[in-house]
Structure 1
Amino acid sequence: DTLLLDAVRRLSPQQQECATLRFLQGLSVAETARVMGKNEGAVRALQHRAVRGLARFLGDKRE
């Protein structure tokens, strides 16, 4: 879906990587942290910001 791809492209590169690893590849927080070289708290924060960013962008487009 073009709308979703546009929303993903608006995320920071780290948020994109985190979201891809977590949601598309199905990695756990611990696995994602290892791949990204970050601690689990940082991955959770990146994931949270990515989801909020996507929701905000997609919500703006739906109105």
Structure 2
Amino acid sequence: MAAVVMAVFAPYVFRTESTVQAIAWSAMLVGTVVLIAVLVYAELLMRRMDRRTRRGASGT
């Protein structure tokens, strides 16, 4: 949600703020998107490990 809000406001920030502030906004936007991707990837890995654990435990 935060990445969407930041992306919506990005054109406004690029028009009205200084170059340094626009670069900082871009860095925060990229960082937010990367953080969300890492969290989703970690969740998928944990689910995969949990499925393997359950499959192994039910087989014994």
Normalising by structure 2, what TM-score? Answer: 0.51
Gaps in structure 1 of 5+ consecutive residues: 1-7, 9-15
More helix by share: 2
Deviation of 1:39 after TM superposition, in Å, equals 1.5
Runs of 4+ that moved beyond 2 A: 32-35
Structure 1 vs Structure 2 CA RMSD: 2.5
Are 2:43 and 1:54 equivalent residues in the alignment? no
Alpha-carbon displacement from aligned partner over 1:8-48 (angstroms, at most 9, x marks no partner)? 6xxxxxxx3xx2131xxx33x3413548xx72101110011
Separation of aligned partners in 2, 1:21 and 1:45: 11
**Greater relative CO, 1 or 2 (CA 8 Å, sep 6+):** 1
Normalising by structure 1, what TM-score? Answer: 0.49
CA radius of gyration, larger in = 2
Are 2:43 and 1:41 equivalent residues in the alignment? no
Corresponding residue number in structure 1 for 2:49: none
Identity in percent: 12
